[in-house]
Amino acid sequence: MPVWLELAIRVAGVFVAFLVLPLIVGQTEHKVMAHMQGRLGPMYAGAFHGWAQLVADGVKFAQKEDVTPRAADRPVFRWAPVVALIPYLMALMVIPLGPGDLVGQSLDVGLFFVLAVLGIGVVAVLMSGWASANKYSLLGALRAAAQLMAYELPLVLSAASVAMAAGTLSLSGIVHAWQPWWLAWQLPALAVFFVAGVAEIRRPPFDMPIADSELVFGYMTEYTGLRFAFFLLAEYVGIVVIAALTAVLFLGGWKGPGPDAIGWIWMLVKTFAVAFVVIWLRVSYPRLREDQLQKLCWLILVPVALAQLILTAGVNIAR
């Protein structure tokens, strides 16, 4: 197969995953919340179990007027939703779906690359908050920036513990090195990574940047129509990326009963299982206060991640 054709197939596969998987997560969230909270609305849009709810949402966003505030910085305001999507698209390029060639681009420093590009997300939030010419948007963007910069540290430290245990920064290499007993050995790192990941994508109970009770809707207040839908798509793609990374780093990725040929099925099962937990948190827990957010990060997550990193280093030296 020509190199250009192989590259085109890989890019097309990543784009399909980028568009389809978040929609499945969004539809799942509608159904999970409908059952857990007795929300009957999402159960009736369609003849079977409200299957058309996602279609109805898409049509609604497409029909809404695209409004740009008069005092806004128009180019920055319009590009912010697109910039919000870029880090997750780049991350999906290097996350392996299965063994062999089931990855957009295999990198020897894949983990480093993913953690680096995820840090770009704060730029889109600051762009939208500053360009909106709205005090609620600006306050929401500043909250998000403080939250994202704080939780980057425990996220990186917990991922570094796994990379140190595996002896590689390659995501495929980490899966190959993974053993079932890691579930006990790296359990603290798993907890830290998951909590920090949920905070990174600003999902409840860490959704202070869009707290409607005091910030209307934070950095997204002035966005309507498809631009607002882009921010929602970025949120659901973020769930997929964090869930997939959790599966790769801590749950063995594509490893499971049966041959490697069905490894992609195990990878998807693990990814959606973690995504379900993210959705369950939204339904079950109230929003934290800003001071509680920072205390959780600096007084609990960072010390636990550092302790796990030291433990992993000690085990490696003992080997």
CA Rg value for the chain: 20
Residues 196, 308: Cα–Cα separation, whole Å: 15
Q: Give yes or no for residue 159 having a pLDDT over 70.
A: yes
Residue 43, number of CB atoms within 10 A of its CB: 16
The runs of H, that is alpha helices, within 38-73 are 53-63
By C-alpha distance, which of 229, 244, 199 is closest to 84?
Answer: 229
Mean pLDDT of 262-281: 92
Residue 117, number of CB atoms within 10 A of its CB: 18
Mean pLDDT of 284-294: 87
Q: Give yes or no for residue 294 having a pLDDT over 70.
A: yes
Q: Tell me the range of 27-41, 44-58, 183-197, 215-229 where mean pLDDT is highest.
A: 183-197
Q: Give yes or no for residue 307 having a pLDDT over 90.
A: yes
Question: What pLDDT is attached to residue 6?
Answer: 75
CA distances, 149 to each of 4, 214, 246 (Å): 38, 22, 20
Residue 73, number of CB atoms within 10 A of its CB: 16
Question: What pLDDT is attached to residue 1?
Answer: 65
Q: 238 is in which domain, residue-wise?
A: 3-318
Q: For the chain, what is the domain count? A: 1
- Write down the mean pLDDT value for the chain: 87
Strands (E), the chain: none
Question: What pLDDT is attached to residue 207?
Answer: 86
Per the CB < 8 A criterion, the answer to whether 238 and 279 are in contact is no
Mean pLDDT of 53-61: 82
Residues 305, 136: Cα–Cα separation, whole Å: 34
Give burial (CB, 10 Å; 0-12/13-18/19+) of 75.
exposed
In sequence order, what are the residues at sequence separation of 6 or more whose Cβ sits closer than 8 angstroms to the Cβ of residue 294? Answer: 146, 150
Residues 121, 117: Cα–Cα separation, whole Å: 8
Q: Give yes or no for residue 3 having a pLDDT over 80.
A: no
Per the CB < 8 A criterion, the answer to whether 220 and 228 are in contact is yes
Residues 254, 235: Cα–Cα separation, whole Å: 24
